[in-house]
Amino acid sequence: MNDNAPLFRQVTIIGVGLIGGSIGMAIKKHRLAHEVVGMSQHHASLVHALKHHAIDKAFNDVKKAVQNADLVVLSTPVNTIMSLLPSISRFLKRGCIVTDVGSTKVSIVETAEKLFNSAYFVGSHPMAGSDKKGSVYAIPDLFNHSLCIMTPTERTNKAAEEKVKIFWTRLGANVKVLSPMEHDKILAYISHLPHLIAYALIGMIPQEYLEYSAQGLKDTTRIAASSPQMWNDICMANSKNIIKSLDEMVKSLSVLRKQIVTRDEQNLVENFKKAKTKRDGLNPTPPAEKSNDET
């Protein structure tokens, strides 16, 4: 395949907010499609996406948006993706590829595989985003040096899987492959739990203390500025794995509490050292990849 040739004639993006708008801009920048169609129930989002050249055409009707698409990208919160799957399945042309950007995968993949017959579904989760939301924050380089997790199964069409992998790679992402179950288990620890901790931390601090807060608290709780409804939906969709991660977090805090109560400085320092070594080993975050909290 010519690396410079368009992958698709028409790509339809449902949901043209931060992620969807950035996908549209990146597709056009890298010339991955002849035409980018956007769909949203929010008129202002479509107007902004058209004005800033994230999309070429705009619809608020599912059938008109997807009926000629070669690739459909579901760029909405998890619950909306679940409701969109049966809606779009009636109008997809034979051979159309559908992918998504959802933060949980098991329920989405299972539902899509039951619904789609002549179209192909390939689960995706681009780990790029921001605590901001809306197409006004969309940028074409959002996916540069980011991670995108794909979640194919034994039922996934191999040609469609390969094409989606090329798609994300040409948008600038480093693609890794996990099963849907592995994805949801891992994300409960590395994404979902940190968001819950941020919400809990800022929630328990007395309001009158906050005027004295420094950058450390702002950094630690930045992701608590994310959409409450979106994170409610993620918690419901991945509840089993999230509860397990929360239970382990409570145990970890209990250990630290006990060491402080008993003034066990040796083990307290050792725990801090181990945690620091882990943190120091994390890959540096590129400027374009501020957070993985969009979907």
Higher pLDDT, 132 or 20: 20
Residue 227 has pLDDT above 50, yes or no: yes
**pTM score:** 0.91
Residue 135 has pLDDT above 90, yes or no: no
The model's confidence at residue 134, banded by pLDDT at 50, 70 and 90, is: confident
Question: How large a percentage of the chain has pLDDT more than 70?
Answer: 94
Q: 186-221 pLDDT, tens per residue? A: 999 999 999 999 999 999 999 999 999 999 999 999
Q: Which domains, from first to last, does the chain contain?
A: 8-178 (3.40.50.720), 183-280 (1.10.3660.10)
Residues 88 and 116: their CA atoms lie apart, in Å, by 10
Contact 63, 93 (CB under 8 A): no
Q: What is the pLDDT averaged over residues 55-61?
A: 94
Q: 254-273 pLDDT, tens per residue? A: 999 999 999 999 999 999 99
Q: What is the pLDDT averaged over residues 13-41?
A: 95
Question: Average pLDDT, whole number, for the chain?
Answer: 93
Q: Provide the token pair at 295.
A: 């979907």
Contact 151, 109 (CB under 8 A): yes
Buried b / exposed e over 216-228, threshold 16 CB at 10 Å, is eeeeebbbbbbee
Residues with Cβ within 8 Å of residue 101, at least 6 apart in sequence: 19, 20, 23, 73, 74, 75, 124, 125, 126, 294, 295
